[in-house]
Chains A and B, each alone.
Chain A
Amino acid sequence: MRHWRTGLFMAAPVLLGFIFLVFYPVVSVIRDSFTSYNPLSGDAAFIGTDNYTRLIQDETALEVARNTLIFACILVPVNMALALFLAVLLNLHFKGRTTFRAIFFSPVIVSTVAWTIVWKYILQDDGPFNYFLSLGGVDGPNWLRDNPWPMISVVMVQVFKNLGMNMIFFLAALQGVPEEMYESSEIDGANRWQQFKKITLPFISPTILLVAILTIAGAFQVFAQVLLLTGGGPGLSTTVLSYYIFINAFQIFDLGYASALAVCLFVFVMGLTVAQWQIRTRWVFREV
């Protein structure tokens, strides 16, 4: 304990940053959500729960909430399943596996903006993707305009972008599974699939939990892809909550209402995280 002063001193910059750039803003966004703050009209009156009543009656917000859920419900399982599948494959021993790891990881380092711009080009009606489909005799739709493809396009562009990160998490976990466990189960006559289900999955379950928490939290923050790929359209079909907050806050400057929406997003993400943490004992087999 005699070093506590040095300790606090060394941690102070990050702690202060946290207080001013995370803690204070969260308190303040909750406060603003009860006001009609708008820098254009100069208005900042306390209006009680009006923003929240408006939110419940706002049909756009309802559709946005639905889109956000659809987005997350497709993205999370597709991303995690594909990442785990690739991790298992790339954990096998063969020449070139590090090259493949680097390939699947490479979009993680590219900015979302650059990645999305390139995909916007590829997915144009007369762009390269439809050209390749036409070689196989398929007449592709306009991926960014014809429902339901815009939503699927946004999801897939995001999956390819961040898959590599989860793949690396899973790979690290797979490399920690002790070989003896497989050996003894083989003596008992277990096949590969049974081994995967009974040994691998339980062993890496803490990593699955971590990846699930991060992927779900990330799914609610998708923003640049929507703005640049579809602009939330056609209609509202790809407008998700974080994008809707952006429009209300920084394009319409209805900061009071945007704050109420942000509080919902915050409650959503935190609620899901706490829920996952609570039910972890049912399926996570060991603490790390």
Chain B
Amino acid sequence: MRSKVNKRYTRRNSKLTGWRLFGIYSLLLIIAVPFIFPTWWMFTASLKPIEEVFAFPASLIPNDFQISNYAEVFRLQPFLRQYWNSMFIAIVVTIISVTISTMGGYAFARINFKWRSKLFVILLSALLMPAEVTLIPIFRLMVKSGLSDSFFPIILIPAFGAHAVVGLFLMRQFFLDFPAELEEAAEIDGLSRWRVFTKIALPLSGPALASLAIISFLYSWNLFLEPLVFLTEPNKYTLPVVLPQFTDTYGAPIFNVQLAATSLSVIPVMIVFVVAQRHFIRGITMTGIKS
């Protein structure tokens, strides 16, 4: 299907040249400024002494490299611990949500069970549910059961809540396109439905699983509202909760240190994005197409 679409494009795909190409490049470069510029300022300001952060004229490259900003991050907060918290939570969330979303997505795509389409429409409503709406009762429940200041809600909500529905939706789209002949052959050979799933479908869904894993990891890594509401001890904080807290005693941000901490939280994600760009974009696209 995809190759057919591409072939149709031969004529329109004739390469742009000359002034038109120049025009498009300049336009895109101008629009790209607010997309590239922030990352540049984040890295450079994180290496500047505080006087230079707001110096006039502003320096594109630090005049005076102050690596100690990064040491300061670890002195002001148990940052290593918080980094680990974020990592640990994201890994657990990813494992759980990939497992249950893949199973659910397969069931909704391939197995004709009772109320399937009705249940699917009801599930979809979760995609539009504002987090604030569901958070209040969950907060109440967690406080009542004494699980409030723990990782429990921070793992439970992204792993089993609305995000799991997104994952299910994504995997359902993937399995809908899956060739039925393979499965039918396996069933004739006497494999149970569950076996068909684990022995035939799963081994062939590597790329889709990779996309889903990336999306789940990022979702948890970037989650802010839930950890902000539930976690109260600095030792339990995740990165998004601690980043805004690099402030002086008056609550004003210490920008160079704060941006150093922010850089540390963004760098691994950026590296993975550059390496596995294809998976990121395909995963996002799969959630949108054909819905």
Chain B residues lying within 8 Å of A220, measured Cβ to Cβ, are: 130
Instruction: Kindly identify which residue among A5, A29, A89, A113 contacts B243, using a CB–CB cutoff of 8 Å.
Output: A113
CB pair B160–A265 under 8 Å, yes or no, is: no
Q: Which B residues from 126 to 162 make CB contacts under 8 A with A?
A: 126-140, 143, 156-157, 159-162
Instruction: Kindly identify which residue among B32, B113, B123, B197 contacts A14, using a CB–CB cutoff of 8 Å.
Output: B123
Instruction: Kindly identify which residue among B32, B253, B265 contacts A103, using a CB–CB cutoff of 8 Å.
Output: B32
CB pair B35–A103 under 8 Å, yes or no, is: yes
Nearest CB in chain A: distance from B35 CB, A? 5
Which of A89, A106, A127, A224 has most B Cβ within 10 Å? A106
Chain A 82-106 interface mask (CB, 8 Å, partner B; 1/0): 1000100110111110001111111
The number of residue pairs between A and B whose CB atoms lie closer than 8 Å in the complex comes to: 302
CB pair B112–A111 under 8 Å, yes or no, is: no
CB pair B138–A25 under 8 Å, yes or no, is: yes
Main secondary structure of the interface of A (DSSP, over half): helix
B104 at the interface (CB under 8 A from A): yes
Docked CA distance A178–B7 (Å): 10
A79 at the interface (CB under 8 A from B): no
Count, chain A residues at interface, CB 8 A:
104
CB pair A262–B56 under 8 Å, yes or no, is: no
Nearest CB in chain A: distance from B208 CB, A? 16
Q: Which A residues from 7 to 50 make CB contacts under 8 A with B?
A: 7-8, 10-11, 13-18, 20-22, 24-26, 28-29, 32, 37, 39
A284 at the interface (CB under 8 A from B): no
Instruction: Kindly identify which residue among A17, A96, A112 contacts B164, using a CB–CB cutoff of 8 Å.
Output: A17
B250 at the interface (CB under 8 A from A): no
**Which residue on chain A has the smallest CB distance to residue B10?**
A179
Docked CA distance A258–B99 (Å): 35
Docked CA distance A1–B116 (Å): 11
A213 at the interface (CB under 8 A from B): yes
CB pair A14–B130 under 8 Å, yes or no, is: no
CB pair A246–B225 under 8 Å, yes or no, is: yes
A212 at the interface (CB under 8 A from B): no
Chain A residues lying within 8 Å of B125, measured Cβ to Cβ, are: 22, 270
Q: With A111-B221, A113-B240 as known contacts, state yes or no: A262 contacts B38, CB within 8 Å.
A: no
Chain A 186-206 interface mask (CB, 8 Å, partner B; 1/0): 000000000000000000000
**Which residue on chain A has the smallest CB distance to residue B86?**
A111
Chain A 257-288 interface mask (CB, 8 Å, partner B; 1/0): 01100110110011001000000000000001
Chain A residues lying within 8 Å of B54, measured Cβ to Cβ, are: 124, 126-127
Q: With A165-B284, A242-B130 as known contacts, state yes or no: A6 contacts B194, CB within 8 Å.
A: yes
Chain B residues lying within 8 Å of A15, measured Cβ to Cβ, are: 104, 119, 123
Chain A residues lying within 8 Å of B56, measured Cβ to Cβ, are: 126, 131
Chain A residues lying within 8 Å of B244, measured Cβ to Cβ, are: 113, 117, 228
Instruction: Kindly identify which residue among A10, A22, A178 contacts B107, using a CB–CB cutoff of 8 Å.
Output: A10
Chain A residues lying within 8 Å of B107, measured Cβ to Cβ, are: 6-8, 10-11
Chain B residues lying within 8 Å of A265, measured Cβ to Cβ, are: 130, 132-133
**Which residue on chain A has the smallest CB distance to residue B161?**
A21
Docked CA distance A220–B162 (Å): 16
B66 at the interface (CB under 8 A from A): no
Which of the candidate stretches B14-22, B68-76, B77-85 sits at the interface with the other chain? B14-22
A180 at the interface (CB under 8 A from B): yes
CB pair A8–B130 under 8 Å, yes or no, is: no
Docked CA distance A270–B143 (Å): 29
A122 at the interface (CB under 8 A from B): yes
Chain A residues lying within 8 Å of B24, measured Cβ to Cβ, are: 89, 92, 94
CB pair A14–B16 under 8 Å, yes or no, is: no
Instruction: Kindly identify which residue among A100, A109, A126 contacts B28, using a CB–CB cutoff of 8 Å.
Output: A100
CB pair B269–A109 under 8 Å, yes or no, is: yes
CB pair A13–B34 under 8 Å, yes or no, is: no
Instruction: Kindly identify which residue among A14, A94, A245 contacts B15, using a CB–CB cutoff of 8 Å.
Output: A94
A146 at the interface (CB under 8 A from B): no
- Give me 23 A-to-B residue pairs in the complex whose CB atoms sit less than 8 angstroms apart, sorted by A's number: A10-B111, A14-B160, A17-B164, A20-B160, A21-B161, A90-B28, A94-B24, A101-B281, A110-B266, A111-B222, A111-B239, A111-B240, A112-B240, A113-B224, A114-B243, A121-B45, A168-B284, A172-B289, A210-B291, A220-B130, A245-B132, A246-B225, A266-B133
Q: A25-B134, A118-B41 are in contact. List 4 more A-B contacts (CB 8 A).
A: A32-B140, A114-B266, A259-B136, A266-B129
Binding site for B on A (CB under 8 A): 1, 3-8, 10-11, 13-18, 20-22, 24-26, 28-29, 32, 37, 39, 82, 86, 89-90, 92-96, 100-115, 117-122, 124, 126-128, 131-132, 156, 160, 165, 168-169, 172-173, 175-176, 178-180, 182-183, 207, 210-211, 213-214, 217, 220-221, 223-224, 228, 242, 245-246, 249-250, 255, 258-259, 262-263, 265-266, 269-270, 273, 288
